[in-house]
Structures are given as structure tokens and as C-alpha cells.
Amino acid sequence: MTPPDPVISLLETALAEDLGEEGDITTSAIFDADDTGEALIRSKQKGVLSGVTLAAPLFGLVDKYFARHASSAGSAPATTVETYCADGGAVEPGKAVCRVRGPVRSILAGERTILNLIQRLSGVATLTAAMVKELSSGGGRTRLLDTRKTTPGMRLLERAAVRHGGGVNHRFGLHDMILIKDTHVKRAGGVTAALSKALEWRGGGSVPRVEIEVQSLEEFVQALRLKPDRIMLDNMSPKEIEICVDERDASGLSVELEASGNITLGILSAIAATNVDYISCGAITHSAPALDFHLAMLS
């Protein structure tokens, strides 16, 4: 499946950063255009895979680069990728996730770029999976959300990595959901003023969805009265979150509740015990450690 245009643009930018104007001069100095070989990309750690579907389009772009710069364009065979493990699958040390066959120049020129992407995205998927597992151990209904704290230009891929780890995506950007943060609230003159204006701007429909961040039980009560689609409970203790959940349930309203702020693996079970609908966590994208992979030439 061909990736969407923004992903292709990202791959092109990443390759251009590495290849520059002169290309991989080390590989070009040692290997001829028609030298072919095979390589395996293997995991060096236990975790959850994400990004392996980028291998085929990336090496295809590398082939195109060499074709444009070769004196006999089209003489080298195409690079092919055989995938052994799907995105979202579990990996262990030594597990091969794909085999790459084709010109040695293409394999080695694209090596670092594809490894960087798979390592970064698998790190996001792995941390997400660890948090989802912690949530599910309590048997509650709480689901894990990502945030907009993503690497610039990589949001589409990092959101996919969150899904591969079992998480749920929040809004994509500023354009597809109204999310009233504390900065909006302060400038607008309070929760009631800000939320009232947002709901009035939306009109009588249900799109876009409206969410508001509150920082106290008093602000929560004000927001609940106006019935937004979701209320974000920012930096509240598990006890305060439980009070909000109970009050929402007693009201009979279908307003979703999202806990947020300084979310760590250690506090997840306590928050999930409140039966809040969602927990949003920026760390799964902005602080996920990379999962280590390597490429080994076979011939």
C-alpha cells in the first residue's frame, strides 16, 4: 500500500538530509551499480514493532535516487522488501522483521534512515503498549490517548505507532476539534465564558467536538452544566477524578472525562480505578526511548 503524500514527503526529506547532493560516496566508491545483495533488519530488544511498512517505499525512493544519478539509468534491479512481522506485532532480540534484496548501494544508502524511523516509531508503540497493559490489568474501561506532543512532521506516523501499541488517538491538530485549554479560559474570563462562546460558535450541530480543560472541582461543575462533549481533568488527584466521575454519572449526561497531566506508568492504575473514560499522556510520543534495531548484510 502506497503511503499518503505527507509520509512520502517525509521519507524524501529524510533521505535528502542523509544523501545530500553527492549521495552515499562510501558505498559508491566500493560497489558497482549492478552489485546486489540481501540484508535482514532485526530487533535487538523486546517490544512492539511500528514503521516496518515504510521500508518498501523508502528503498523505492533510494532506487529512484540512484537511477536519476546513474550514467546508465535503469540498469540496476529494483530493491524489494519481504516483511516477516507486521506493525503492532511483538518483537524479541534477534527477530527478523524484514528482508531487503537489491542493489547493495540502495540497501546501504537507505539503511540508517529506515532504522531511525523503525526505532523511533517502535519506541512509541512499545511505551504505549506498556501503559495500555497497566491500564487493562485493572479491568476498567479507561483508554489511553496520545496528544499533540509529537515530533514535527512525524505526527501521522507517531499516531499510527500509538495505535500499534493499543492506544487511541486524540485530535490530529488544531483544526479538527475545539479544545479549550487553561490559556483560553484565563483570557476569556473563566470556564463558563470560554465554553459558552465555543458552543455558540459551533451552533446546534455536533461537529466539531468541544472539549474543555478544568483544573478544579469548581471549574468541573461549571463545565458539566454546559454539556460539552468532553472535559479534561488537568493535574487532579485520583480522589478528585473519582468525585468528577461520580458527579458525571449521577447527572446522567454522556459527557466524556479525560484525565491529564504528569501521567506516569506508576500512577496509571490509581487513575484507572476511578473509571475515568480516558487518560491522555504526552510522554508516549515525546519521551519514548527508541527500540534498537540493526541491519545485517547476508550477501
What residues does 279 pair with on adjacent strands?
144, 259
pTM of the model: 0.95
What residues does 193 pair with on adjacent strands?
none
Task: Put residue 97 in one of left, alpha, beta given phi > 0 → left and psi -120 to 50 → alpha.
Answer: alpha
pLDDT in tens, 65-123: 998 877 544 467 899 999 999 999 999 999 999 999 999 999 999 999 999 999 999 99
pLDDT at 71: 58
Domain coordinates of the chain in residue numbers? Answer: 5-126+288-297, 131-286
**pLDDT tens across the length of the chain (299 residues):** 789 999 999 999 999 999 998 899 999 999 998 999 999 999 999 999 999 999 999 999 999 999 887 754 446 789 999 999 999 999 999 999 999 999 999 999 999 999 999 999 999 999 999 999 999 887 778 999 999 999 999 999 999 999 999 999 999 999 999 999 999 999 999 999 999 999 999 998 899 999 999 999 999 999 999 999 999 999 999 999 999 999 999 999 999 999 999 899 999 999 999 999 999 999 999 999 999 999 999 97
pLDDT at 136: 87
Catalytic annotation, residues: 112, 149, 181, 213, 234
Q: Give the burial class of 21: count Cβ atoms within 10 A of its Cβ; 0-12 exposed, 13-18 middle, 19 or more buried.
A: exposed
User: What SS3 class is residue 225?
Assistant: helix
pLDDT at 228: 98
Looking at the chain, the number of H-run helices and the number of E-run strands are 11, 12
pLDDT in tens, 270-296: 999 999 999 999 999 999 999 999 999
Superfamily classification of domain 131-286: Aldolase class I (3.20.20.70)
pLDDT at 73: 46
d(CA 36, CA 32): 9
d(CA 140, CA 275): 6
Computed over every residue of the chain, the mean pLDDT equals 95
Contact 118, 59 (CB under 8 A): no
pLDDT at 11: 98
Q: Give the burial class of 188: count Cβ atoms within 10 A of its Cβ; 0-12 exposed, 13-18 middle, 19 or more buried.
A: middle
Q: Give the burial class of 195: count Cβ atoms within 10 A of its Cβ; 0-12 exposed, 13-18 middle, 19 or more buried.
A: buried
CATH number of 5-126+288-297, picked from 3.90.1170.20, 3.90.180.10, 3.30.70.260, 3.40.47.10? 3.90.1170.20
